[in-house]
Amino acid sequence: MAVLARRLDTQFQLLEAPPILKPAITPRIVESGAGEAIRNLRATLEASIASKLTSGSELVRAVARHRRDEILPTTIPPLDALLGGGLARGKMTEIAGRGTRFSIVIATLAAATSIGEAAALIDASDSFDPQLAEAAGIDLRRLLWVRPHTMKETVTAAEMTGATGFQLVIIDLGAHRPPGRRVPDAAWVRLARVAESHGATILVSAPYALTGTTSEAMILAHAPRPRWLGRANAPRVLAGVETRLKLEKHRHLRPGQTTTVFFQCEEAISGSRESGVGSRSTEAVFSDTRLPTTDTRKAS
């Protein structure tokens, strides 16, 4: 068939190995212009200097190793302290339970995009708000927003984006697991391998623990408590939500440590409010839970 324009001997080269071309004339080895003076200079280099010399390929590999050993801080001081500095690069970290998981997701995306990294959000519950994200400091130009329908599509999308080269991939499952069949545990193992081989940081935010032993660390969020400004019949404003975080598992740290984080509403940040919450620093807001508000719920 003439339209099959490829010849077998070019398409299937295993059928007949191409001849090995040999030069007709053996090339004469030529010194690269280095004279006697250069050779003497090399010989006089101290051994300590010579031992520190490295080739270009070695240098690139060392930089890649260094990157994998780095930490991506979430810029939430209590959480970073709990994780030993932040999210481990090339590893998978999980946050499960009730509480301000999505706020942690938004803060982490803001941290990654602020340093110029490309991030992907696999939003299984389709609950991402671009306006709020921009207000929280996310550089939307560096964010790929993926909205799968099922659990299988969620994991597939995470694997594909991790393998493409995104430095941060976040899977957010919302308040409940997406419809569709439950994915096998091997899917999380594969995802962890993608993270390791491509140096991607993967964060899984789920209503309950899913990744098992494949994650580097696991944080449990619980006991969320809303805080309101104002009392009794006075006008109320939602100040924010306080959550307790517990380190359930970590490969290198002792589990069991707890901390508390408080995320505040943007309206409560304004300095015109009576309680004066707005002008507080980020660290003070995160660490100080003694706010002059009405605590309407008991710890659950």
Partner 1 sequence: MTRLACFYVPMFVLAARLRSEPDLLHEAVGIVEGNGSNAHIVAATRRARKKGIQPGLSLAQARTLLPKLIARGRDAECERTAQEALLEVAETFSPRVEDAGEGVVFLDVTGMERHFSDFGSGESGVGSRSDEENLDSPLSDPRHPTPDTHHSELRLARAALRACDAISLPARVGIAASKLAARVAAELPKSPTVVAAGEEATFLAPLPLTRLSPELEAAAMLQRFGLASIGDLAKLPESEIASRLGEVGRELHWAARGIDPRPLMPRPLPPEFREGMELEWPLVALEPFLFIANAALDRLSKRMEIQGFACKRLEFTLTLDPEGYDARGIDLPAPTRDVKTMLTLMRLDLEKTPPGAPVVGFSFVAHPDRPRRAQLSLFGPSAVSPEKLATTIAKLVSILGDGRVGMPTTVDGHLPERYAINVFSPPPPPDMKRTPARARGLLAVRTFRPPIPIEVTTREAEGDDMQIASIRSLANEISDPRPPTPNSRSRIEAGAKVEIGGTVRICSGPWRIEEGWWSDRPDIREYWDVELERGGVYRVFRGGAKWFVDARYEM
Residues 237-266 that bind partner 1 (CB under 8 A): 237-238, 240-241, 262-266
Binding string, residues 12-51; x marks residues near partner 1 by CB under 8 A: ----------------------------------------
- Of 37-45, 110-118, 187-195, 244-252, the segment contacting partner 1 by CB under 8 A is 110-118
- Burial group, residue 196, by CB count within 10 angstroms (0-12, 13-18, 19+): middle
* Secondary structure of 90-155 as H, E, C letters: CCEEEEEECCCHHHHHHHHHHHHHHCCCCEEEEECCCCCCHHHHHHCCCCHHHEEEECCCCHHHHH
Closer to partner 1 by Cβ: residue 214 or 264: 264
Question: What part of residues 139-168 is at the interface with partner 1 (CB under 8 A)?
Answer: 140-149, 151, 153, 156-157, 160-161, 163-167
- Of 31-39, 113-121, 187-195, 252-260, the segment contacting partner 1 by CB under 8 A is 113-121
Cα–Cα distance, 24 to 44 (Å, whole number): 40
To partner 1, the closest distance from the beta carbon of 36 in angstroms equals: 23
Tokens 């001997």 appear where? 9
Read off φ and ψ for residue 161, nearest 5 degrees: -70, -35
The two three-digit tokens of residue 232, written as one number = 């009794």
Question: What part of residues 45-104 is at the interface with partner 1 (CB under 8 A)?
Answer: 59-60, 63, 72-76, 97-103
Best CA proximity match to 271, nearest among 279, 263, 280, 259? 279
Question: What part of residues 125-144 is at the interface with partner 1 (CB under 8 A)?
Answer: 125-137, 140-144
Residue from 180, 246, 273, 289 that binds partner 1 (CB under 8 A)?
A: 180
Residue 174 touching partner 1 (CB under 8 A): yes
Residue from 28, 233, 254, 290 that binds partner 1 (CB under 8 A)?
A: 233
Binding string, residues 273-292; x marks residues near partner 1 by CB under 8 A: ---------x--xx------
Cα–Cα distance, 166 to 143 (Å, whole number): 10
Compute how many other C-beta atoms are within 10 angstroms of the C-beta atom of residue 73.
18
* Chain centroid offset of residue 175 CA: 20
- Of 2-10, 15-23, 36-44, 188-196, the segment contacting partner 1 by CB under 8 A is 2-10
Closer to partner 1 by Cβ: residue 134 or 251: 134
